[in-house]
Amino acid sequence: MKHICVIGTGYVGLVTGVCFADLGHQVVCMDIDPHKLELLRAGKSPIYEPGLEELLERNLRAGRLSFTDNYAVALDQADFAFITVGTPMGTNGAADLRYIEAAARGIGAALRGPLTIIDKSTVPVGTGDMVRQIIAEHTTTPFAVVSNPEFLREGSAVTDFFKPDRIVLGSTDRIAAEHVAELHEPLGAPVIITNLRTAEMIKYASNAFLATRISFINEIAQICEKLGADVREVARGMGADKRIGPHFLDAGIGYGGSCFPKDVLALHHMAASAGCHPQLLQAVMDINLDARQRFVAKVKLLLGDLQNKEIGILGLSFKPNTDDMRAAPSIDIIRELQAAGAHIKAYDPVSMERAAEIMPEVTFCATAYDAAKEADALLIVTDWNEFKQLSWDKIRSFMRQAIVVDGRNLYDPIEMTNRGFTYWGTGCGGSPTLREAQQLSLDQEPVTQH
């Protein structure tokens, strides 16, 4: 059993703390948000993450988990301290490191015994060295810094913690990295030990690669739509090739969330600052924004003037099984529709409370069916499972116009057309009305202004 401290109890930190407690370690989670701490001490998870609240309650009851806002309390007996604070997008595209710096200062000031500090936040290459320097300015106590980038996915974060594909550890102190590897031994995952900067780069390169796959298939989808091919079958055909694989080849409205947008931009910024010319990363970001604009353009082509049109939205979170609204495509899409005069009614199984803080002028509905009532068009924005089994006859009976624009390709265009809908998916065919709209779109191509 080890004593572990986790600094920052957000999506990554809370999952890390709770799961290490479940592996039998003594864990103290530290955060500066008093509201979060109050909820956590009561066994309530401030975020929606499948399986997390059960583990939180269980480990609180077992006395293996506690919460504090005090660095000295958090570090009192700690062998390991994970830094899991946010690294949001800064003003010029670089990652904003103010929370990392504050955590490093807090650790340095409270350090009383030897400690291994493990950076799990996604940080620009060189940040581990900066953390070491800040801590060293505050203490003479021996410590080591290890980079351990996090690869969990929101929506399956608990499962991902217990079954990671790999553990990446980077340090100039090999012994410290090996100690951190031992901590992860029960997970049975391959461990890759590198130097500090390489580990930091592995995280950015991984996220940028996944984002590239998404933008790649979205570009292919656009071409498919114009040339009459079906991107879903194209992706299936491509994905069957072992060298390519099937993941991250779902065409749609592009990536969002708290990681890909900021990480691709931060890598672009890092590259440009180092004198490189990151053209592929720029294209990935441009294509991603174009996908949202193209989605809105489809709605405009089908409905004409959006003034006072009622538009139903299914799904708000940036992906299913999370309540995370950070950089969700739904935000840009809804704002653009509203700017054109449309009224928006939306439904999401878990993220409406968070969405209401960002978009108070949206009408939030109790069910997917309520969002479709009297709507001129229904837009599928997030691929929650519950949207895969809707009764479309019922929906058609109470829509003002039977128009569905599907940003996640949840439905088959022919089936939806046979059910009486004008249906426009992403990169696949559609109804005759649609073909007219597509024809029209050839002359009105949406282009992102950068």
Ligand X SMILES: NC(=O)c1ccc[n+]([C@@H]2O[C@H](COP(=O)([O-])OP(=O)(O)OC[C@H]3O[C@@H](n4cnc5c(N)ncnc54)[C@H](O)[C@@H]3O)[C@@H](O)[C@H]2O)c1
Provide the edge-to-edge strand list for the sheet that holds 3-7: 65-68, 26-30, 3-7, 80-83, 115-119, 143-147, 167-170, 191-194
Q: How far is CA 203 from the centre of its chain?
A: 14
CB nearer to ligand X: pick between 99 and 364 = 99
The contact mask relative to ligand X for 239-268 (x = CB under 6 A, - = no) is -------------------xx---------
Main-chain dihedrals φ then ψ at residue 90, nearest 5 degrees:
-80, 180
Our finding on whether 210 is near ligand X (CB under 6 A) is no
Q: Cβ distance 405 to 295 under 8 Å?
A: yes
Which residue's entry shows tokens 């790999």?
A: 166
8 binds ligand X (CB under 6 A): yes
Closest to ligand X by CB, 22 or 31: 31
| Closest to ligand X by CB, 13 or 170 | 13
Dihedral through CA 235, CA 239, CA 240, CA 245, nearest 10?
-170
Q: For ligand X, give the closer residue by CB, 17 or 407.
A: 17
- Nearest approach, Cβ of residue 46 and ligand X (Å): 8
For residue 443, give the DSSP letter: T
Q: Which of residues 390-449 bind ligand X (CB under 6 A)?
A: none
Report the residue number, 102 or 272, with the smaller CB distance to ligand X. 102
Instruction: Please report whether residue 9 would count as binding ligand X according to CB under 6 A.
Output: yes
Q: How many residues bind ligand X (CB under 6 A)?
A: 27
> Which segment (99-107, 166-174, 284-292, 300-308) binds ligand X by CB under 6 A?
99-107
Find the shortest distance in angstroms from Cβ 87 to ligand X: 4
Residue from the set 21, 85, 118, 333 that interacts with ligand X by CB under 6 A: 85
> At its nearest, how many Å lie between ligand X and the CB of residue 262?
7
What lies within 8 Å, CB to CB, of 69 at 6+ separation is 30, 31, 32, 34, 37
Q: How far apart are CA 137 and CA 119, in angstroms?
A: 18
Scan residues 12-51 and list those touching ligand X (CB under 6 A): 12-13, 30-33, 36
> Contact between 306 and ligand X (CB under 6 A)?
no
Contact stretch for ligand X (CB under 6 A) within 9-17, 139-147, 296-304, 374-382: 9-17
Torsion of CA 121, 172, 144, 71, to 10 degrees: -20
**Two tokens at 404?**
């569905």
218 counts as binding ligand X under rule CB under 6 A: no
Q: Is 276 a catalytic residue?
A: no
Q: How many CB atoms lie within 10 A of CB 418?
A: 11
In whole angstroms, the minimum distance from the beta carbon of 45 to ligand X comes to: 12
Describe the chain by its helix, strand, coil percentages, rounded to 5: 45, 15, 40
Which residue number has the CB closest to ligand X? 10
- Is residue 321 a contact residue for ligand X (CB under 6 A)? no
Closest listed residue to residue 286, CA positions, set 221, 225, 211? 211
d(CA 332, CA 338): 10
- Does 278 interact with ligand X (rule: CB under 6 A)? no
CB of 64 to ligand X, least distance (A): 20
Which of 4, 5, 6, 10 is the binder for ligand X (CB under 6 A)? 10
Does 86 sit near ligand X (CB under 6 A)?
yes
Element (H, E) at 422: strand 422-424
Task: Please give the structure tokens belonging to residue 386.
Answer: 């519950």
The contact pattern for ligand X, residues 113-152, with x = CB under 6 A and - = no contact, is: --------xx---------------------------x-x
Catalytic residue among 259, 276, 365, 428: 259
> Between 101 and 230, whose beta carbon lies closer to ligand X?
101
Q: Can you tell me the distance from the alpha carbon of 352 to that of 44, in angstroms, rounded to the nearest whole number?
A: 18
* Interface with ligand X, residue 99, by CB under 6 A: yes
Length of the chain: 450
Query: 390 and 367 in contact (C-beta within 8 Å)?
Result: no
Q: By C-alpha distance, which of 236, 205, 231 is closest to 217?
A: 231
Residue numbers annotated as active site: 259
Contacts with ligand X, residue ranges (CB under 6 A): 7-13, 30-33, 36, 84-87, 99, 102-103, 106, 121-122, 150, 152, 154, 258-259
